[in-house]
Amino acid sequence: MTLLHPWPRPILLEKDEPSDQTLLELHTMSLIPEEALEYFSKSIGDSFDRLSEIERLILVTAYV
């Protein structure tokens, strides 16, 4: 059984310079559908970009 995770896999990197290091890269991804971003970009243009994060989230939630 395969479990689906919405997060990208972490990346471990080993570096020797400037000193021995193990780096953990954790990437994030947007949970906002690309379709919603395209819709608002076309319908209200730059006004969407000027909204606060919570205002954009409210609009996208209503859209979805």
pLDDT at position 1 is: 41
Domain around 62: 30-64
Taking phi over 0 as left and psi of -120 to 50 as alpha, with beta for the rest, 35 belongs to: alpha
- Asked if the structure places residue 61 within a domain, the reply is yes
pLDDT digits (tens, 9 = 90+) for 4-44: 556 778 899 998 888 889 999 988 777 788 898 889 989 99
Contact present, 33 and 64 (Cβ < 8 Å): yes
∠ CA 8-30-3, nearest 5°, is 40
Measured between its terminal Cα atoms, the distance across the chain in Å is: 29
Domain count, the chain: 1
Among the ranges given (3-7, 18-22, 47-51, 59-63), the one the predictor scored with the smallest mean pLDDT: 3-7
Which positions ≥6 away from 26 have C-beta within 8 Å?
A: 10
- Asked if the structure places residue 60 within a domain, the reply is yes
pLDDT at position 9 is: 84
Q: What mean pLDDT is predicted for residues 42-54?
A: 89
pLDDT at position 6 is: 64
